[in-house]
Structure 1
Amino acid sequence: MAEVRNAEQTHWWRGAVIYQIYPRSFLDTNGDGVGDLPGIEARLDYVASLGVDAIWISPFFKSPMADFGYDIADYRDVDPLFGTLDDFDRLLAKAHSLGIRVMIDQVLSHTSIEHAWFKESRESRDNAKADWYVWADAKPDGTPPNNWMSLFGGVAWQWEPRRGQYFLHNFLASQPDLNFHHPAVQAATLDNVKFWLDRGVDGLRLDAINFCFHDMQLRDNPAKPAELRTGRGFSPDNPYAFQYHWYNNTQPENVAFLEELRALLDRYPGATTLGEISSEDSLATMAEYVNERRLHMGYSFELLTDDSSAAYIRGTVQNLEAKMREGWPCWAISNHDVQRAVTRWGGDAALDADLARQLVALVCSLRGSVCLYQGEELGLTEAEVPFEALQDPYGITFWPNFKGRDGCRTPMPWNGDANGGFSAVQPWLPVPAEHGALSVSVQDENAGSVLNGVRHLLRWRKSQPALVTGEIAFLDAAEPVLAFTRGAGEEKLLVVFNLSATAQAWDVPAALHALAPIDDHGLRAGELRDGTLQLPPRGVFYARIG
């Protein structure tokens, strides 16, 4: 731990590439069909070979697994499904020995219904933890106290006969929301965070961090017009999309709590926070939450949508740049909650290796840090999981209009065996047959594979300060060309992407100085001819300016 903690640069996270590991699906070492912490430790040499700076491990804490670990029953213990605290300590030590920082998920806004705090709180209205959760009386007719909806479908209130009251749940009914207006809840939450910082973790990914506080007046959310029901991370046929979520999350009191959280982190040099933010205006909330007094980094669902046009990407980044004057963003185009990017943005071209490499290059070329989701370096496609094999309660509820999140959570294919080398037994989710050809062992042997291309790209990126921490400025370009500059100190780069499967030409602005093309990034490179840039399908062009 000392090696990493005593590093000269405590701002290591600026421009860092963070590799997300979904433990259930990484590697099973004990033959139960579910990945575990020893499995992560066993594959850390592989992770190090990618050239990433850190790993983010999705929840591995004690949980009944109603939402696969995002419903925590004990914040300070490892669920036996994943191993033990000793296993985590060994994983942490191995990662640090390889120069990899370790970030862990913290789910602060809600707990499991099995958490000891909730079990006590629900027993009566006058026990020591009676006000630790969001309780409210029914309306005179017995209906819930207001119109708030759960993101996972249905009303956001569950009746509890022991107390004769409803409790709030913004997600599953088995995930009751904590009452962060209670000072003791905030103190206990920060103490749980301190437990892991004392253990040596290098950072926290904060799940749904804008959901910690609710409107104390319990005001109804206003209705949203049908044409605007295009929220982030849920389908328009979900009634959650029928409202403006002004009162069940993103309350002003959250800011003061984030400052308390940051004060705690500042006692651990080099420790960082990455907040997941999903609000009515996520970019504005990111700008408010991310600065030197609050979160170190933030990311939202803006690039986790279906729109992959150059105009949308440019508009999203420019919007955030205009609002976030002092903060540091983090970008992701894949994670455990959305369809895999090569399928979502590539459609029929999902198996195009050039597309897979280009998508990684794109997210790694924007200003900010980067989250890469396990399998993204392989170009994994979204899996078709039959209804009878579904595990995700979200997908089961909304099938067949929305198939849930299982398709992006299938196990990592380490080799071409039936179970992908993930497990000796039937895995918790099936391994798609088509992922065998994309497995690590197959791609390792192919110098031109997506995997080896990503390795080369990430090593090359580290040598380009302008790409790691430089400023960004967009240039005019017609669809499907995306063009911008990155600059840090004396170095300034021109970056151009052809986001289509057909060749494109782009006239380089005369205002740019002489260009020195960079061709050692391992991607399909464009060629400059008499002031016009010729871009092959899925082509990328990097050049030094001046």
Structure 2
Amino acid sequence: MKDQLLPWWRGAVIYQIYPRSFSDANQDGIGDLPGITQQLPYVAALGADAIWLSPFFRSPMKDFGYDVSDYCDVDPLFGSLDDFRTLIKVAHELGLKVMIDQVLSHTSDEHAWFQESRQSKDNPKADWYVWADPKPDGTPPNNWLSIFGGCAWQWESRRQQYYLHNFLVSQPDLNFHNPEVVEHLLETVKFWLDLGVDGYRLDTVNFYTHDRLLRDNPPLSEGDTKSLGVPGTNPYSMQRHQYDISQPENLSFLKKLRQLLDQYDDITTVGEIGDDNPLALMAEYTSGNDKLHMAYTFDLLNVHRTPAYLASVIENIEAAIGDGWPCWALSNHDVVRAITRWGENEADQHAYGKVLLALLTSLRGSVCLYQGEELGLPEAEIPFEKIQDPYGIPFWPEYKGRDGCRTPMPWVAGSENAGFSHVQPWLPVDDRHVPISVDAQETLSDSMLAHYRTFLRWRKQHPALVHGDISDVKANDQGLQFVRTDTQSPNNARVLVVLNLSDAPMTVSIPKGTWRALDGHGFTFDLSNEKVSVPPYQAAFATDSTG
């Protein structure tokens, strides 16, 4: 069949694992690679196609692994290279692909490259990072800001220059205008390809290059879309990021990266794009089959969730992306969990969480699920004295950081720390997570976990939902509807999707066709040839019997 020729990642469900908080095999309060390996059968049983591992490289952990001090080794906190080899082997035996999180835009200030670069202006790695002279009055070279707050430039007395850091002061930015830097970064990518990884999630993929002239960013104009950062809290959101990120030279690096990846079989990439105009950038970065395979933006990782907004996101992406391919996520390690962020005021959060899965996995594109999403975990409450996130501490209490979505995975309700570890974990387990732990949900047919398993298995049986086109997108005050079409099948099989995101019954007219209700997905609805009636927080699926 034609669909067998499609790459594995097209429409795949990718399960994100935050290693510090997934499973603690050595009982030190921090999750590790052996712990992940032990729980891979759980992930496979969920119906995922791949895992994405957040960083586990050597790091001083000032930003919990996103400050890399050695790209080609495992931090002892998480285990060893042999532990990673074992993880790869077990995952592949279970039919799971393995993707890792590459942080290429910056390193830790403890990386050997930066330790050498900061010593002088004439050492072999002097130009490996973004250095600039001060203005005549000693102030930084321009007005660029750090996404973590404050100036993006840090003074280095040994060189009498500033270095750029888009994130923490301890995360200096690499200079992608230097061919040696590009060459060495590609070598680190090749290292993990040779170990057997199947793909990469590329952190801050549009942050790699900067404006050579170091021009000032203009202020955000009235009516402009709010940028990255925390609007109203972080001054980063007051600029239009015209020169510090998303530069045209980025495309050159992405093409070189793709040339390397194409030397290996069945490799994929998904890029994280945060920008003032993310949809245009997603299209640019994924088009032409010579750069990224997929990309995702923050369009579903924000607080907006009206059906009209969702329809506009779908339509705007479809209009912009051309031959590119999107990847969708409702939660990850950087944002408030979706069941809280979107569903806090819903009448039935349990039912609402189930229909959110139907929404996420019915859109055209691939899917990232974040650990614990399948349990319906709400955002954890972390008291200030236990906050670990360097992003949250300076902005407290207006912004509480990212720790609330990073707390330990609850495995066993009756066990200490919900079965994550026998010692105090690095972040506390929220009391509300204990009764909805994995073992508590295993025995309940109506649990969120049971629903995820049922729905994800069911979705695999319908190629139109996995890799089909999307059309006829409509929204009302209560929900959405659209049609997915499997253009790979001889008869262009169609699946109608109707989603009621509200707490009241919804009846809508449906496109012309001889529609037959699909079952086995866990939702209830009533279908006629012209209308479908969907109870609160339910979804309807039907196939055109001519297809």
- Scaled to the shorter chain, the TM-score interval is over 0.9
Partners of 2:227 and 2:239 within 8 A in 1: no
* TM alignment of 1:83-94, pairs within 5 A: 83-94=79-90
Partners of 2:103 and 2:473 in 1: how far apart? 39
Partners of 2:482 and 2:190 in 1: how far apart? 41
* 2:495 paired residue number: 493
Query: What amino acid maps onto 1:354 in structure 2?
Result: A
Where does the alignment leave 5 or more consecutive residues of structure 1 unmatched? 1-6
* 1:300 paired residue number: 297
Partners of 2:226 and 2:276 within 8 A in 1: no
Please say which of residues 164-173 and 219-228 is displaced more in the overlay. Answer: 219-228
Query: What amino acid maps onto 1:260 in structure 2?
Result: K
Partners of 2:311 and 2:475 within 8 A in 1: no
Partners of 2:515 and 2:529 within 8 A in 1: no
The answer to whether structure 1 residue 502 and structure 2 residue 504 are counterparts is yes
Partners of 1:343 and 1:350 within 8 A in 2: no
Q: How far is 1:531 from its partner?
A: 2.8
Distance change >3 Å, CA 350–CA 305, structure 1 → 2: farther
Partners of 1:233 and 1:338 within 8 A in 2: no
* 2:539 paired residue number: 540
* 1:389 paired residue number: 386
Q: How far is 1:267 from its partner?
A: 0.3
* TM alignment of 1:323-342, pairs within 5 A: 323-342=320-339
Q: How far is 1:388 from its partner?
A: 0.6
Partners of 2:541 and 2:210 in 1: how far apart? 46
Q: Report SS of the residue matched to 1:398.
A: coil
Partners of 1:504 and 1:537 within 8 A in 2: yes
Where does the alignment leave 5 or more consecutive residues of structure 2 unmatched? none
* 2:50 paired residue number: 54
Partners of 1:310 and 1:481 in 2: how far apart? 5
* Aligned pair partner of 1:219 in 209, 215, 221: 215
Partners of 2:475 and 2:75 in 1: how far apart? 51
Q: How far is 1:475 from its partner?
A: 3.5
Query: What amino acid maps onto 2:539 in structure 1?
Result: V
Q: Report SS of the residue matched to 2:275.
A: coil
Q: Report SS of the residue matched to 2:192.
A: helix
* TM alignment of 1:286-435, pairs within 5 A: 286-291=282-287, 292-349=289-346, 352-416=349-413, 417-435=415-433
Distance change >3 Å, CA 152–CA 351, structure 1 → 2: farther
* 2:33 paired residue number: 37
**Per-residue displacement from partner, 1:382-402 (whole Å, max 9, x unpaired)?**
011110110001110110001
Partners of 1:40 and 1:446 in 2: how far apart? 24
Q: How far is 1:235 from its partner?
A: 3.3
**Per-residue displacement from partner, 1:332-361 (whole Å, max 9, x unpaired)?**
010000000010110133872211111111
Q: Report SS of the residue matched to 1:474.
A: strand
* 1:439 paired residue number: 437
The answer to whether structure 1 residue 21 and structure 2 residue 23 are counterparts is no
Q: How far is 1:477 from its partner?
A: 3.5
Partners of 1:259 and 1:149 in 2: how far apart? 28
Query: What amino acid maps onto 2:324 in structure 1?
Result: G
Partners of 2:181 and 2:85 in 1: how far apart? 27
Partners of 2:347 and 2:503 within 8 A in 1: no
* TM alignment of 1:92-241, pairs within 5 A: 92-225=88-221, 228=224, 230-232=226-228, 234-241=230-237
* TM alignment of 1:451-530, pairs within 5 A: 451-488=449-486, 489=489, 490=491, 491-509=493-511, 512-523=512-523, 525-529=524-528
Please say which of residues 193-202 and 533-542 is displaced more in the overlay. Answer: 533-542
Partners of 1:232 and 1:301 within 8 A in 2: no
Partners of 2:227 and 2:238 within 8 A in 1: no
Query: What amino acid maps onto 2:502 in structure 1?
Result: S
Partners of 2:311 and 2:473 within 8 A in 1: no
Q: How far is 1:539 from its partner?
A: 1.3
Partners of 1:532 and 1:274 in 2: how far apart? 38
Partners of 1:232 and 1:72 in 2: how far apart? 22
Partners of 2:513 and 2:538 in 1: how far apart? 22
Q: How far is 1:447 from its partner?
A: 1.1
Q: How far is 1:331 from its partner?
A: 0.4
Q: Percent identity?
A: 58
Q: Report SS of the residue matched to 2:392.
A: helix
Partners of 2:356 and 2:469 in 1: how far apart? 20
Partners of 2:311 and 2:474 within 8 A in 1: no
* 1:4 paired residue number: none
**Per-residue displacement from partner, 1:381-423 (whole Å, max 9, x unpaired)?**
0011110110001110110001110000000000113411000
Distance change >3 Å, CA 121–CA 540, structure 1 → 2: same
Partners of 2:206 and 2:217 in 1: how far apart? 16
Partners of 2:15 and 2:48 within 8 A in 1: yes
Partners of 2:200 and 2:445 in 1: how far apart? 35
Partners of 1:212 and 1:254 within 8 A in 2: yes
Q: How far is 1:181 from its partner?
A: 0.1
Partners of 1:309 and 1:479 within 8 A in 2: yes
* 2:530 paired residue number: 531
Please say which of residues 115-124 and 470-479 is displaced more in the overlay. Answer: 470-479
* 1:259 paired residue number: 255
Partners of 1:253 and 1:272 in 2: how far apart? 22
Partners of 1:233 and 1:442 in 2: how far apart? 37
